[in-house]
Amino acid sequence: MSLPTISLESLVSTKSFDQLLATAKSAGCASSSCGSSAKPDEMDSAVWEKIKDHPCYSEEAHHYFARMHVAVAPACNIQCNYCNRKYDCANESRPGVVSEKLTPDQARRKVIAVANEVPQFSVLGIAGPGDACYDWKKTKATFERVATEISDIKLCISTNGLALPDRVAELADMNVDHVTITINMVDPEIGAKIYPWIFYNHRRHTGIDAARILHERQMLGLEMLTARGILTKINSVMIPGVNGEHLIEVNKWVKERGAFLHNVMPLISDPAHGTHFGLTGQRGPTALELKTLQDRLEGGVKLMRHCRQCRADAVGLLGEDRGQEFTIDQISDDITYDASKRNAYREVVARERGDHVAAKSQAVETVKATGSGKSLHIAVATKGGGRINEHFGHSKEFQVYEVSHRGISFIGHRKVEQYCLGGRGADATLEGVIAALKGIDIVLCAKIGDCPKDQLAEAGIRAMDVYGYDYIETAISALYAAEFGSEPLAATA
């Protein structure tokens, strides 16, 4: 029986959520359990339960689910050379960004406000500024307050690891299933170039001594988390000439100790941020250097390639930030939780997601069947849901896929300035967008005008909107088969 298609577009529209729910049920999906069809065959069911709604731990989930961060724990026990304390914790966030700091009670109100309005919301993270395990009382108070009211929210923290071993038992007691440790080195001599000091056992340590203690605490914390079944993601900041090559060693160490994911992020270094690295001219990696390292790490701990280095008060799908809609001054003191939007969304997504996985699997079979040794890099304009559903001129980022006979892989994203504002495109902005798309063969979007399409073509990039609202992988496989297989190109624009 052919079931009606439920578009993710509708999920964030003003349409009544009762209507959405009714649609989902008429499509044969009255239970969120049918989302289990999205589980990869090789994955343990218990692990899948933990990651299936977590946008950072599952690349597939990041098309559907959103996180929010609350900046409640500003004290920190180490100094990183890429951090300026005026700003957020650069271990998880973009440096140079200042987030709204909250008390645990304010955080509770803000989380409820987001849960009432953002149906995709699934994960509450504490990701700086400061260290969540060191500024522990505020972290714990926040999680306890939120978990009491919204029992299905996943709790997630990011830490430098120094105080982590002291907190693992309580994290397990609070059902925190996701912990990120920033690990930039396993060799204290390299660590001394990244961390000028740490504060541990009531005193300050410097140099190699400091880095050795930090390293030992990080490894101990990771082992303790693994022993309790808590999924641990490792964030590493790639600093060329300092730890670039060394991160291969880091990947081996954390794999041996049970890390679940490894997220290698580029150092963002700017003198204006006032960090040691910024002021001393330490550069970050180029996009190619980062990708080359990530490719070399394949085969080790599974890599995360969809990180957006979010703000410490970010709200929304990865890559979008709705934080300004939920500043604390806009939220009532006596707000109460209303689960209706989140519940309705989950009903609809469960069905859509199963369809997406089936479409993806079919798409991979199609590209493999071509037997071609060629590859293409394809940039996609999307608002989520795994579909090509954003106009070229409205995009603030493009998701980048690599397709070859080996399959279709998400390999990163390119941030751009929005080209079209108020119905008009600015030439200077378009030049920047085209520069950001260097190395891309094809752009897929829901709509594009002739002018930007022609200018992209002059830069050697084909842009098309004939696959608008299709699943991303379905469109990519059709294109690939048309280019390198035996099937004729059905439609191009």
Residues that bind ligand SF4 (CB under 6 A): 76, 78-80, 83, 89-91, 128-131, 160
Least separation in angstroms between CB 141 and ligand SF4? 20
Residue 99 or residue 399: which is nearer to ligand SF4 going by CB? 99
CA dist 218 and 164 (Å) reads 7
Residue 270 or residue 325: which is nearer to ligand SF4 going by CB? 270
Least separation in angstroms between CB 99 and ligand CLF? 12
**Quick one: what does residue 158 bind among ligand SF4, ligand CLF, none, with the CB cut-off 5 to 8 Å set by partner type?**
ligand CLF
**Quick one: what does residue 160 bind among ligand SF4, ligand CLF, none, with the CB cut-off 5 to 8 Å set by partner type?**
ligand SF4
Residue span 177-196 as binding mask against ligand CLF, x where in contact by CB under 6 A, dash where not: -x-x----------------
Q: Under the criterion CB under 6 A, does residue 92 sit at the interface with ligand CLF? A: yes
Beta-sheet strand order (sheet of 442-444):
407-415, 397-404, 376-380, 442-444, 462-464
| Positive or negative torsion for Cα 107, 109, 115, 118 | negative
Least separation in angstroms between CB 204 and ligand SF4? 13
Q: Apex CA 51: angle with CA 49 and CA 52, to 5°?
A: 70
**Quick one: what does residue 266 bind among ligand SF4, ligand CLF, none, with the CB cut-off 5 to 8 Å set by partner type?**
none
**Quick one: what does residue 129 bind among ligand CLF, ligand SF4, none, with the CB cut-off 5 to 8 Å set by partner type?**
ligand SF4
Least separation in angstroms between CB 303 and ligand CLF? 12
Residue span 299-318 as binding mask against ligand CLF, x where in contact by CB under 6 A, dash where not: --------xxxx-------x
Question: How buried is residue 167: exposed, middle or buried, by Cβ count under 10 Å (0-12/13-18/19+)?
Answer: buried
Q: Of the ranges 122-130, 214-222, 270-278, 330-338, which one interacts with ligand CLF (CB under 6 A)?
A: 122-130
Question: Restricting to residues 28-57, which ones interact with ligand CLF according to CB under 6 A?
Answer: 56
Q: Under the criterion CB under 6 A, does residue 127 sit at the interface with ligand CLF? A: yes
Neighbours of 398 (CB within 10 A): 26
- Bond prior to 452 in cis (omega within 30° of 0): no
**Residues at the interface with ligand CLF (CB under 6 A):** 56, 67, 69, 92, 123, 125, 127, 156, 158, 178, 180, 233, 263, 307-310, 318
